[in-house]
């Protein structure tokens, strides 16, 4: 019995979070006829197919969207296992008490006005925490928007339809707005989500719980996380170390500087820890730390769509020598190698190439029209482990082609074919120029090939996936 106890307790703790994502029934406490989230959430859940599982609670009674407004939690059926709390902060401890008494074991508290507002709020939050703990209630929040589960379409926040297209990326965000913004932004960049946690002030459920949950979630292959200080530093360290062995964990942490720490502390009520400590910590665990929000998103795009490379040898094909040089600089600084092309690739490219074309790596095809051929050749080159294709063309050329009744797609060639030619190699594209053109190229690339907006960012993301693959292969 002794052996495996910790693990068993652990499993149980994690499985206690299941109703947050897949509730049998949901009580919405604070549903209301006044415009706002208490008015909208029932509509959102009904639209997502949860009409029969939703129960609205408001002491004022009456009706909303055809549902009766139950005057007390006691009227909610006993099989309801999740409560979403939208009432003003001062009432929250009492509502949590009623939820606990009802036998509900999970609550999302979206209300703000707790530790993030100062001493009074801290006391209120502590009171709420004590009440919840006395009932063994698991709480996400307060000051959050709860969860999203694309597997069944359940969410405690209104999100765009495209954010619910299922995919491999699990999200852990501290603040609600920030989580919301990620959910708005990521689908347009081809990042598909499995589950999202917004943790808010982390009265109970924190990033350690979220990591453990996503580690076991079969739909989640990659975890992206935004942290503003760790609630439990030691546990975060050991958990990251274990989770990162199984799934890439991409982390952005604010509070790098004193000013950032103060800002973070004031809005989700947590003190951001010592930054250098975190850097060391992340490096030990194998979690991948992003330097900026943009890098976090770039990493999510590349890690969720590309295979892990065998090595760090990068082949670059470009229509602009300058952008090729910038990519080479960034790749090289980030620890990637730009190997010489194999003799077979050189021979293949020389054939039919214009005199001015230098067949080397980066392979600058200029306006030769050999971009597609070069992409195929460099993908198939045995000396490369990953490929970056930089495609730019002056928009005047696009317009000329259009005037001739041609689409500029013919210049780029079939990118799906390029992708298939070496499925084991990460492939990233880079494109910049007129907005319409960049969007068009993203359309041609589809969700399976990330198109990044700068050569430096593309090279850094490829370096990160190489570093991770290397660690997984050789250091474990």
Ranges within 301-320 binding a second copy (CB under 8 A): 316, 319-320
Residue 13 sits in the site that holds a second copy (CB under 8 A): no
Q: Closer CB to a second copy, residue 332 or residue 467? A: 332
d(CA 300, CA 167): 12
Cβ burial, residue 371 (10 Å; 0-12/13-18/19+): buried
Query: 337: which DSSP letter?
Result: B
CB-CB neighbours of 64 under 10 Å: 17
Q: Is 64 in the site for a second copy (CB under 8 A)?
A: no
184 sits near a second copy (criterion: CB under 8 A): yes
The reply on whether position 60 binds a second copy by CB under 8 A is no
What string of DSSP letters covers 140-152? E-SSS-EEEETTT
What are the DSSP calls for 346-382, one per residue? HHHHHTT--TT---SSSEE-TTSS-HHHHHHHHHH-T
Instruction: Compute the distance between CA of residue 373 and CA of residue 350 in angstroms, rounded to an integer.
Output: 11
The verdict on 330 binding a second copy (CB under 8 A) reads: yes
**Smallest distance from the beta carbon of 99 to a second copy, in angstroms?**
22
User: How many Å separate Cα 160 from the centre of its chain?
Assistant: 15
For a second copy, the closer of residues 89 and 469 by Cβ is 89
- Is the CB of 70 or the CB of 199 nearer to a second copy? 199
Q: In the window 134-173, what residues touch a second copy (CB under 8 A)?
A: 157-160, 173
User: By CB under 8 A, which span of 21-29, 64-72, 125-133, 330-338 interacts with a second copy?
Assistant: 330-338
Where b means 16+ CB within 10 Å and e means fewer, 162-192 reads: ebbeebbbbbbbbbbebbbebbeebbeebbb
203/209 Cα distance (integer angstroms): 12
Q: Toward a second copy, which CB reaches closer, 356 or 474?
A: 356
Residue 200 or 413: which CB sits closer to a second copy? 200
Task: Assess 131 for contact with a second copy (CB under 8 A).
Answer: no
> Which residues does residue 313 pair with via DSSP β-bridges, in sequence order?
337
Strands 288-289 and 249-253: parallel
Quick note: the x/- pattern for a second copy over 402-441, rule CB under 8 A, is --x---------------------------xxxx-x----
- Binder of a second copy out of 400, 402, 420, 424 (CB under 8 A): 400
Site for a second copy in 225-254 (CB under 8 A): 226, 228, 252, 254
- Residue 256 as a binder of a second copy (CB under 8 A): the answer is yes
Q: Which of residues 445-474 bind a second copy (CB under 8 A)?
A: 453-457
* Cross-strand bridge partners of residue 64: 67
Decide whether 165 or 177 has the Cβ nearer to a second copy.
Answer: 177
Among residues 242 and 402, whose Cβ is nearest to a second copy? 402
Nearest distance in Å: CB 417, a second copy: 25
Binder among 65, 122, 310, 360 for a second copy (CB under 8 A) = 360
Is position 392 an interface residue for a second copy (rule: CB under 8 A)? yes
Query: Could you tell me the strand order of the sheet in which 193-198 lies?
Result: 154-155, 146-149, 193-198, 166-173, 222-227, 249-253, 288-289
Interface segment toward a second copy; rule CB under 8 A; list 20-28, 132-140, 176-184, 232-240: 176-184
Binding to a second copy by residue 326, rule CB under 8 A?
yes
For every residue of 284-321, DSSP letters joined together read: HHT-EE-SSHHHHHHHHHHHHHSPPPSS-BEEEEES-H
């Amino acid at each position: 019995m002794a052996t495996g106890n910790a693990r068993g307790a652990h499993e149980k703790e994690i499985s206690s979070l299941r109703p947050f994502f897949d509730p049998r029934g949901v009580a919405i406490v604070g549903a209301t006829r006044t415009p706002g989230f208490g008015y909208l959430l029932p509509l959102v859940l009904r639209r997502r197919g949860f009409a029969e599982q939703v129960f609205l609670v408001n002491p004022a009674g009456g009706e909303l969207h055809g549902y009766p407004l139950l005057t007390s939690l006691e009227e909610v059926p006993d099989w309801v296992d999740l409560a979403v709390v939208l009432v003003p902060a001062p009432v929250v401890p009492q509502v949590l008490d009623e939820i606990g008494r009802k036998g509900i074991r999970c609550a999302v508290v979206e209300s703000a006005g707790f530790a993030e507002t100062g001493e009074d709020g801290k006391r209120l939050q502590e009171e709420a925490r004590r009440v919840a703990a006395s009932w063994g209630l698991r709480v996400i929040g307060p000051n959050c928007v709860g969860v999203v589960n694309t597997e069944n379409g359940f969410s405690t926040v209104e999100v765009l339809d495209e954010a619910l297209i299922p995919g491999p990326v699990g999200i852990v965000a501290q603040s609600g707005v920030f989580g919301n913004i990620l959910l708005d932004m990521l689908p347009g960049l081809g990042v598909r989500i499995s589950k999202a946690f917004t943790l808010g002030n982390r009265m109970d459920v924190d990033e350690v719980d979220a990591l453990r949950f996503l580690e076991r979630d079969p739909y989640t292959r990659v975890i992206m996380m935004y942290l503003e200080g760790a609630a439990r530093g030691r546990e975060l360290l050991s958990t990251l170390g274990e989770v990162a062995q199984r799934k890439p964990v991409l982390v952005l942490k604010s509070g790098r500087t004193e000013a950032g720490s103060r800002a973070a502390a004031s809005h989700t009520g947590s003190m951001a820890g010592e930054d250098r400590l975190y850097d060391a910590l992340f490096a030990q665990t194998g979690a991948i730390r992003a330097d900026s929000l943009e890098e976090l998103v770039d990493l999510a795009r590349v890690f969720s769509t590309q295979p892990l490379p065998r090595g760090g040898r990068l082949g670059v094909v470009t229509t602009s020598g300058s952008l090729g040089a910038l990519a080479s600089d960034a790749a090289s600084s980030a620890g990637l190698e730009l190997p010489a092309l194999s003799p077979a690739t050189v021979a293949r490219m020389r054939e039919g190439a214009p005199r001015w074309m230098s067949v080397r790596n980066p392979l600058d095809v200029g306006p030769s029209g050999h971009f597609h051929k070069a992409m195929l050749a460099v993908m198939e080159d045995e000396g490369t482990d990953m490929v970056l294709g930089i495609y730019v063309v002056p928009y005047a050329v696009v317009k000329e082609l259009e005037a001739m009744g041609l689409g500029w797609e013919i210049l780029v060639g079939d990118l799906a074919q390029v992708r298939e030619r070496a499925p084991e190699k990460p492939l990233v594209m880079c494109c910049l120029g007129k907005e319409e053109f960049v969007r068009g190229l993203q359309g041609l690339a589809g969700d399976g090939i990330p198109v990044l907006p700068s050569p430096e960012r593309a090279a850094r993301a490829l370096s990160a996936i190489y570093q991770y693959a290397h660690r997984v292969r050789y250091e474990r």
